[in-house]
Structure 1
Amino acid sequence: MLATTRLFWILLLACLSPLALAERLRLVSDDWAPYVYQQDGQPRGIDYEVTTQVFRRLGVEVEWQFLPWKRCLAMIEQGLADGIVDIFQFDTRKPYLVYPTEPMSDVEFVLFQARNRRHAVTGLDDLAGLTVGTSPGYTYGAAFNDSPRFRREAAPTHEANFGKLLLGRIDLLITDRKVGRYLMRQLGLEQRIEALPWVVSRQTQYLGLTRKPGREALAQAFSEELQRFKQEPAYAAISHRYIGDIGNILNAVEQQESSTSR
């Protein structure tokens, strides 16, 4: 049955878009390690490898370009790229984006602080009068984005935000839990910076494809193949290669938080 379904979507893709299997898709994203990023000029990351593997199975060649996130969003909206990796679903993006139903990964936005300048934060009200480091073009949830109680200050890179935090130029920074933990380990900051337990918001990341003839079929074929790939040992091996024990620890924390919040 699974083989029949897979063949159906591949044939449908070929029928609806004869050029889909021959063209090279231009995908854009920013440096969002460990999900997708560049190292020594080469693309890397969990979602990079997964996306590449799934498209390879579909016979679709992809080309990657890394740009600041705001520019990625502008290119997608203007139809200057074929797709964008690790984007959230919003109604305002549906006129120009098609999403596979199967997500790439989940994001959990939390706050990070310097261990020598701790803040007791369990909600937005506790941020009153503080400055929180953000990233241009990122959405952390309406409540956080629109709150007038604290100041948001953007930095060009995630690494720059961690530097500002260490120097005391911002009080806190916000980013995905896995991204923050990964950067802390890479920058050797695990003894100087820590994550707060409060979760600001949770989001799901998807591949987004610009709306063109045949893209709905391509998105569905991608979703079907991604679902299958997630059941294989190779998928778990990719995640472990980038986050290893960090991933196991974070999964345990998330399960504990989920059980205590019900």
Structure 2
Amino acid sequence: MKHLALALLVLCALLAVKSAPAQEVTVYTSASFAPLMLADGRGMYPDLIAYLNQRKLGTLTFRLRYMPRKRLQVKLEDGSIDGMVIGMMPEWFDDVEQKKYLWSAPFATDRYALVSMAAKPVSPDAPASLVGASVGVTFGYHYPGIDAWMARSGMLRSEGPSDEKNIEKMLLGRVDCVIVAESMARYFMRAHGMTARLHLATLASAPTERRMLAPRSHAAAFEKIAPVLKQLKSDPAWQRIVATYQ
């Protein structure tokens, strides 16, 4: 009888898990540039969401959705965000001590780069080229460690809606250079055959970290994905995916 009772308990537990409704978690991104997001729907972020769904984390399923950066920040600040946010770092949200939101370990790192036309390079190694140079930056973005350097160098900020739009402005001669993530710059140069036309200089600043941010109301779901994100850098399967964008 004891064995029968135990078997019934196990069966009931399995049925309960099977019948538990799936919980869809929306993951927002404000990124609209390669290699994070590609025009055809691929990209590192869609691939990461697919990776999380393949891990079958309980009843959780994840869906990626774009939201403009300014609107995203407003919804985070007023507490109306109904999901998590991918690819952020605490410094961008005045949360260095990580008390406002829940933050995963960094699952990727990047650096900022200064990109200009090879025919008229703007370089940190040539201070004279920086004075009065117009530099494309993304509207509303904070560049830790770089904002002060731009001001000291005598550069003139020109804000645009996105990194890609800023690069377009530079190619049209409307700005002298742009500050973008190095991974984005290298992908763009390779994909468009512009390695010889563009000059890239990696900026001496702390690496930018890509993390998952969650409001504390999503703590239960966050606790399931945080361990998975923590081990991404050592997961060969994920590293093979990353390598396709390098």
Regarding TM over 0.5, the answer is: yes
Residue in 1 aligned with 2:142? 139
Contact preservation (8 Å) 1:128, 1:150: yes
Residue in 1 aligned with 2:26? 26
String of CA shifts for 1:187-236, please: whole Å, max 9, x gaps.
33222112014434422110111220xx3343343221223444332111
Q: Cα distance, 1:125 vs. partner?
A: 8.2
- Percent identity between the two aligned chains: 22
Q: Work out the CA distance in 2 between the residues paired with 1:38 and 1:66.
A: 12
Residue in 2 aligned with 1:163? 168
Q: Work out the CA distance in 2 between the residues paired with 1:217 and 1:135.
A: 33
Select which of 40, 43, 46 maps to 1:45: 43
Q: Work out the CA distance in 2 between the residues paired with 1:25 and 1:125.
A: 50
Unaligned runs of 5+ in 1: 1-18, 244-262
Contact preservation (8 Å) 1:77, 1:96: no
Select which of 99, 104, 121 maps to 2:103: 99
| Aligned-residue CA RMSD (Å) | 2.7
Q: Cα distance, 1:69 vs. partner?
A: 2.1
Q: Work out the CA distance in 2 between the residues paired with 1:198 and 1:143.
A: 8
- Equivalences for residues 218-229 of structure 1 within 5 A: 218-229=221-232
Q: Work out the CA distance in 1 between the residues paired with 2:47 and 2:112.
A: 23
**Greater CA drift, 151-160 or 226-235:** 226-235
| Counterpart check, 1:233 vs 2:246 | no
Q: Work out the CA distance in 1 between the residues paired with 2:53 and 2:74.
A: 24
| Counterpart check, 1:180 vs 2:185 | yes
**Greater CA drift, 180-189 or 224-233:** 224-233
| Counterpart check, 1:154 vs 2:172 | no
SS at match of 1:242: coil
Aligned residues: 218
> Residues 176 and 67 from structure 1, CA distance in 2 versus in 1: closer, same or farther, beyond 3 angstroms?
same
- Equivalences for residues 193-232 of structure 1 within 5 A: 193-212=198-217, 215-232=218-235
Contact preservation (8 Å) 1:122, 1:198: no
Q: Work out the CA distance in 1 between the residues paired with 2:199 and 2:52.
A: 35
Q: Work out the CA distance in 1 between the residues paired with 2:132 and 2:200.
A: 20
SS at match of 2:194: coil
TM-score (norm 1): 0.72
**Which of the pair has more CA radius of gyration?**
2
